[in-house]
Structures are given as C-alpha cells and as structure tokens.
Amino acid sequence: MRTSIFVLTAVLLFLSLLLPSIASAQRTPDLSGIWSVGGLRTLSNETPPMTPAGQKKFSSNKPSYGPRAIPPALGNDPAGKCDPLGLVRLIFFPRPMEIIQVQGRVLQFFEWNHMWRTIWTDGRPLPKAPDPRFLGYSVGRWDGDTFVVESNGFDERTWLSENYQGRMYGFPHSDELRTVEHYKRVDHNTLDVSLTITDPKIFTTPWVTTGKFLTDRQKIATPRPALPDAVADVVKQLTTSFSWSGPTGITFPGVVTDGVTRTAANLDPAWIGLDAAALFGTATGNPVRVLNDADAAGVAEMRFGAGVDQKGTVLMLTFGTGIGSALFTGGLLVPNTEFGHIEIRGHDAETRASERAKELHDLSWGKWAGRVDEYLQHIEALLSPHLIIVGGGISKQSEKWVPRLTGIRARIVPAVLLNDAGIVGAAVLAAEQHGGQKH
C-alpha cells in the first residue's frame, strides 16, 4: 500500500514538473478549509454617517448587549426570536465556517444554525429584481489570487453587526444593501477578508471592514497516560498540522517557572521538575513559551476581553478539570497563584467546585453554583477583587450559573474569549518573548 502511494506521488510529481505552465494556468486559488472568525468578529468601528431614515431604523432596533442594551424581553433582536442572522451578521458569528469549492460555485457552510450559502462562479449575473432572502444572492469571480463576491437581494429584517466586546450594534440595512467581499489566502492558516457594505438608504458612504479568518482550532485528546514524551508528540502533531515554524505558546495545567513544570495536580508526577520548554522546543523545533493555563487565559482577557482597561484587582478563574486562577493588579500578572487549591470544608476547592466536580457528582446548576458561590466568598475575603472573570469550557453556558452567584460584592463577568482565552494568551506571550513570526 505504502509503495503504491509512493508511486502515485512520484507520478503526480513528474506530471506537475512536466506541465508547469498548464498547471499554473488552470490553478484556481484554494480557499477551502474550516475557518474561524477569531480575527474578525464584527463590523469595523468606523460607522459611516446614517441617513435620517437609517438613524430612525437604528433607533428602533433594541439590542440586549452593548451600550444601548435593554433587557432581552423588551428588545427586538431578530436573533432573539430565532430568525436567521442574515448574511453579514452570520459571517461574524463566532462559530466556524467551512469553504468548499466545486465546479461553478463556492459554498460556505456556517456551523451556526447549519446554514449554507452558495456563491455562483459560473458567470451568471446578480438578479435584477430579486425576491428578498435572508442570505441574499451572491456571485463570485477570481481577480488573480483574490476571490471577489458581490451580493444583493437581502431581506431587510436582519441586523448587520454582531454583539462584540461591548461595541455598538443593531445596525440596520434596507433592501438596497449591496455587499462586496474580497477573500485572499495569504498563507495556509490565514484568509484576509474585506467586506464593503453599500446601502444608500441607510448609510451616506460605504462601510468597509477588513480582518482575517484563521484556520479553526484543532483538538487532539490528551494521551493517556499523559507522560511528557507522549504529550510532546501531540504538540508536534499540532504544530505540523498548521505547518507552523514560528514562536509557539504552550499552556500547562500546573505551576510553571522559567519553562520548568513544578506541580501536576491532575497529571502524571513525571511532569514535576521537568524542563518542559526544552522538551517541547526539541519536539517542535520552534521557539516555545510554556506557562500556566489560567495565567495565559487571564492575559488574553486583560488585553482583548473582559479585563480591558481594568486597573484594579482582577481575578480570572477558569473552571474545567481543575480551577485555575490568574491575578492582576494595575494590569500586571502575579503568576502561578493556584487559588483553585484553597481549602473549603476540609477539601481542595477544585474537587468541590470545578466543572469536573459538577459532572462527577452529577450536580444540578443550582447546587453547583452554590458551591462556586461559597468558593468565591472565600476568595473575596482573601483578595477583595474588583472584577472576577470566569472562564473555561463551562463559561459558554454562563447564563445558567453566573446569575446565581449572589453572595459576593465583586462584579462577575464571563470571559469574552470563552475557552479560546488560553490559546490566545499563550500565542501573544510566545510572540512577545520570541519576537514575532519567523516566516
């Protein structure tokens, strides 16, 4: 089998060497892949001036988040009654989107609401008098490496922008909305995107937004037993799958000082005292930065999420297999605080109040939130934080438990970057330590 794959590869290689001009003349740039909107979450902040009709429509849109937030029951966000988001907002929704290229069309599959969009590339024009549709009508063409998509025929009921980082949203559009998107794959992992909205009934000038789609996150289960060499092998697989040879951030669920892992509450004791930075550096061939998982998540939230501009004492807590903590004051991190291990009722706190404890003991949201509340009261007595940011996988369902945390004074908010915070923080710190991307 291996031999035949080798032979096939050799034949293909030969053909491509023989026919380079034909190959390049026929090659359509490849945008296919699963893309995450991590780098592009809503329209740019530079809102164009609105016409009087646009201003009127904007004022009648009542969102439940952002500066104009009112309670959801009094609002009229179309997403609140499960209307499709409409094309522009769907593009920004923080769920992955897959691009598939086939003869005569490019398809975008959106995970959110399992919607798909057809962009016709068979040369047909946009319809002249379209029946309005939530995703409108789209045609695309290649301009060199760039895929240019034009759309019209949108249903006016949808809102354009997505709720993101407390920005203004709820922007309307009319039936005259036209969009032009440009997609260009700049490397294996990055798609440059620009979107121009033109809607003369609502905005007096076009609205241009630029950003990036990034390849979606990849997950490989932690090997069991999670011995250092086996984990290093997985880390190598991940960097290889992204063809990555730049600075690499790696988080670890334990104390890390100068790249050495010092504790292993939920891992094999082989990690204690190990030079993890050297291990992962050798495995990947990349410059690495290893740090505590909650510290990394906290750094990301302070820079890009719920902690932006918070100068007081901020505590980030992550609820997962354990409870991780990251403490900031004046924006500076005190690393390796390990507040998940304070003692509550004679037990390690994380064995009572982590997400795993909820699953293990089959606790209802109410029961589990009661335990978290008790834990936070102890923490508050020790640290008096101004703000507590709660993260980890369970922060995706924050509405089920955060409102029940009533026993503390500090403001509690869910992490804006949800469970991606650790990845983002590790990447930022690795890039800072090792001076940006190698190539």
Closest CA to 315 of 383, 254, 405: 383
Residue with Cβ nearer ligand BGC (198 or 337) = 337
Q: How far is the CB of 248 from ligand BGC (least distance, A)?
A: 19
Residue with Cβ nearer ligand BGC (324 or 385) = 324
306-321 burial, b for 16+ CB within 10 Å, e for fewer?
A: bbeebeebbbbbbbbb
- Beta-strand (E) ranges in 225-350? 248-252, 256-257, 260-261, 274-275, 288-292, 313-319, 323-329, 332-334, 343-344, 347-348
Residue with Cβ nearer ligand BGC (294 or 302) = 294
Closest CA to 116 of 162, 84, 141, 70: 84
- Structure token pair of residue 251: 């988080």
Residue with Cβ nearer ligand BGC (118 or 266) = 266
- Distance (Å) of CA 74 to CA 30, 43, 61, 92: 45, 25, 11, 24
Residue with Cβ nearer ligand BGC (167 or 378) = 378
Report d(CA 351, CA 323) in Å as an integer: 9
Closest CA to 358 of 405, 312, 295, 401: 401
Q: How far is the CB of 407 from ligand BGC (least distance, A)?
A: 23
Nearest residue (beta carbon) to ligand BGC? 322
Q: How far is the CB of 411 from ligand BGC (least distance, A)?
A: 22
Residue with Cβ nearer ligand BGC (254 or 281) = 254
Closest CA to 73 of 62, 88, 57: 62
Q: How far is the CB of 247 from ligand BGC (least distance, A)?
A: 22
Q: How far is the CB of 264 from ligand BGC (least distance, A)?
A: 8
Residue with Cβ nearer ligand BGC (99 or 376) = 376
Residues that bind ligand BGC (CB under 6 A): 253-254, 263, 265-266, 292-294, 318, 320-322, 324, 338, 340, 350
Which residue reads 């500090």 in tokens? 410
- Distance (Å) of CA 89 to CA 45, 65, 86, 293, 390: 15, 15, 6, 32, 26
- Decide: 133 and 155 in contact? Cβ < 8 Å: yes
Q: How far is the CB of 38 from ligand BGC (least distance, A)?
A: 22
Q: How far is the CB of 266 from ligand BGC (least distance, A)?
A: 5
Residue with Cβ nearer ligand BGC (254 or 259) = 254
Q: How far is the CB of 189 from ligand BGC (least distance, A)?
A: 26
